[in-house]
Amino acid sequence: MDGFELQETDTLRVLGLTLDKNLNYVQHIKEVTAKSIKLYKKVSRTARAHWGLSPEILKTIYISVVEPTMLYAANVWAGKSQTAQVKVLLDRVTRTFGITICKAHRTLSLESSAILAGILPLDLRAVERSTLYRVRKTGKELDLLPGREAEITISPYDLPHPAKRRSINYGLVEDRQDLEKLLQLKMPIIYTDGSKIEGKVGAALSCTIEDKEILQKKLPLASYCSVYQAEAVALREAVKTMVKDRRFRKAFILSDSRATLDSLRNPSALHPIIAEIKDLISKLNEMEGEAQFFWVKAHIGIVGNERADELAKLAATSCKTVPVCDRFPVSFAKRLIRDSTLDTWQARYAESNKGATTKKFLPDVRRAYRIIRSLKLDNKVAQLFSGHGGFRAYLHRFKLAPDPFCNCDGETPQTVEHVILECPKFLRDRYDCECRMDQVIALSNLEELLSDKNHRGVFLAFALEVVKSTARANGSTSA
């Protein structure tokens, strides 16, 4: 072509994404896996099981560096993430960093390492990213919420020219004295509010002249809408009222939502309701009207604000009319997608034949992540929840102990479950722990003991001391 010979190639790199001739994205995943493993080798020099970077720092590195690297362009290749070739590569990175984060032994399985590190497998995260991208960028309905559209941001190209964009400032009403200054001007005041109560959402406004309510509106929203949406809807309705009703052509609008008012002040805000409010304000100005916005501090005894709050709650709980806003926010989509991911992860975790000891302590992934967040992770905690450590049953697997049996009877394998629940050598300590908790330590209630804040510390103090004592008795370097 034009004197140049075109060479055939098996791969093509476009915007950082490697395309292969089969379009299975294996080559791309291999490349980003190699980058992540190279980073792991650098991090592991300063992060060992008993010293070095803390689990909190390691997890931050994983979430802020490794995940973005691995999940780049996931919306393109996530459909292939469940294929054997791709999944093996993704699981390798998840397991490697999971073991490093939770300070566990290198023999730990993917299932246990992900739970103890408080992370999700990368193949599931890729599907999450892809689903959220479709919702956020294309506005397609969510399979988990059929028949409903997402509230997506408007295009920057739909905004006015930068020279014509407006920043709508607001004042502050922090006490009754500030309000009195506004009342002296004898201008109409419109109080707005949004509320979420009993799982329902509503917005409202109370229009007053000389501190007397002349008009009020209650606006129900769909139950999955956010409070931010409700506050924005209330402001939109306030400006609409000013456009339609001559009595309020010039008025003060008071809202206790600083986030919404800050969005109005941002000349480049892309939220669709905020854009509608700005268009209405432009229309109001063309009619020689004027809206002045104020942030009012909530629950300080200002009657108008309390009235708007009361009306918003009534709108949420009592109004039977069609919702004025039924588009779900991206934050709600994120929660639904994450719930679906956790359901998938729970099924996979329960069906796996690996991580048996971890499942006895942490059978439910949702509760497991809450428990792990409340703990200070170290190698002893990892040994306790995984059984990989200074126990004869584990050491015997690697020919580091002559037999797997506990020396309490010479017949029972010495596992973490045995020493915590049964071994007579720790009978007195176990009894003292049970008396302090007023709970029996049994296999059936291990998760309950860890979930209860009042029992968790007492149980862990006993269990970790048993782990440490057992490892020391077996001459393990993990002691």
Q: What is the secondary structure of 200-218 as a DSSP string? A: EEEEEEEEEETTEEEEEEE
Q: How many CB atoms lie within 10 A of CB 285?
A: 12
Same domain, 165 and 68: no
* Number of domains composing the chain: 3
Phi (first) and psi of residue 18, to 5 degrees = -90, 120
Same domain, 173 and 96: no
Residue 332 placed within a domain: no
Same domain, 198 and 96: no
Q: Helices 379-386 and 110-117 meet at what angle, rounded to 10? A: 130
Handedness of CA 328, 329, 330, 335 (dihedral sign): negative
Residue 270, pLDDT above cutoff 70: yes
Mean pLDDT of 126-146: 82
Task: Give me the half-sphere count of Cα atoms (radius 13 Å) on the Cβ side of residue 176.
Answer: 6
Same domain, 214 and 322: yes
Same domain, 86 and 235: no
Same domain, 288 and 173: yes
Same domain, 42 and 80: yes
Alpha-carbon gap, residue 404 to 390, rounded angstroms: 11
Same domain, 70 and 181: no
Residue 359 placed within a domain: no
pLDDT interval class at 374 (50, 70, 90): very high
Residue 162 placed within a domain: yes
pLDDT in the model for residue 134: 86
Q: What is the pLDDT of residues 4-62, one digit of tens each?
A: 888 888 888 999 999 988 888 999 999 999 999 999 999 999 998 889 999 999 999 99
- Residue count (the chain): 479
Q: Look up the pTM and report it.
A: 0.86
Handedness of CA 118, 122, 127, 128 (dihedral sign): positive
pLDDT interval class at 139 (50, 70, 90): low
Residue 143 placed within a domain: no
Mean pLDDT of 172-198: 93
The answer to whether 221 and 233 have CB atoms below 8 angstroms apart is yes
pLDDT interval class at 479 (50, 70, 90): low
Residue 406 placed within a domain: yes
Cα–chain center distance at 109: 25
CATH number where 253 lies = 3.30.420.10
The answer to whether 149 and 139 have CB atoms below 8 angstroms apart is yes
Among 302, 327, 352, the domain boundary falls at: 327
pLDDT in the model for residue 42: 94
Residue 360, pLDDT above cutoff 60: yes
Query: If you write DSSP's letter for every residue of 340-359 in order, what string do you get?
Result: HHHHHHHHHHHH-SS-HHHH
Same domain, 126 and 169: no
Among 327, 345, 365, the domain boundary falls at: 327
CA-nearest of 90, 101, 97 to 127 is 90
Mean pLDDT of 254-274: 95
Residue labelled with tokens 């080559």: 27
Residue ranges making up the domain that contains 448: 389-473
CA-nearest of 215, 209, 218, 203 to 273 is 203
Query: Among 141-155, 175-189, 255-269, 322-336, which stretch is predicted with the lowest mean pLDDT?
Result: 141-155
pLDDT interval class at 146 (50, 70, 90): confident
pLDDT in the model for residue 140: 67
Residue 337 placed within a domain: no
CA-nearest of 149, 147, 67, 68 to 333 is 149
Interior CA angle at 197 toward 194 and 213, to 5°?
A: 45
Q: Which two tokens stand for residue 42?
A: 């650098």
Among 104, 138, 172, the domain boundary falls at: 138
Same domain, 107 and 222: no
Alpha-carbon gap, residue 472 to 105, rounded angstroms: 17
Residue 117 placed within a domain: yes
Residue 369 placed within a domain: no
The answer to whether 237 and 202 have CB atoms below 8 angstroms apart is no
pLDDT in the model for residue 114: 97
Amino acid type, 360: K
Per DSSP, the three-state class of 322 is coil
Same domain, 134 and 161: no
Q: What is the pLDDT of residues 54-93, one digit of tens each?
A: 999 999 999 999 999 999 999 999 999 999 999 999 999 9
CA-nearest of 187, 206, 215 to 292 is 187
Same domain, 165 and 275: yes
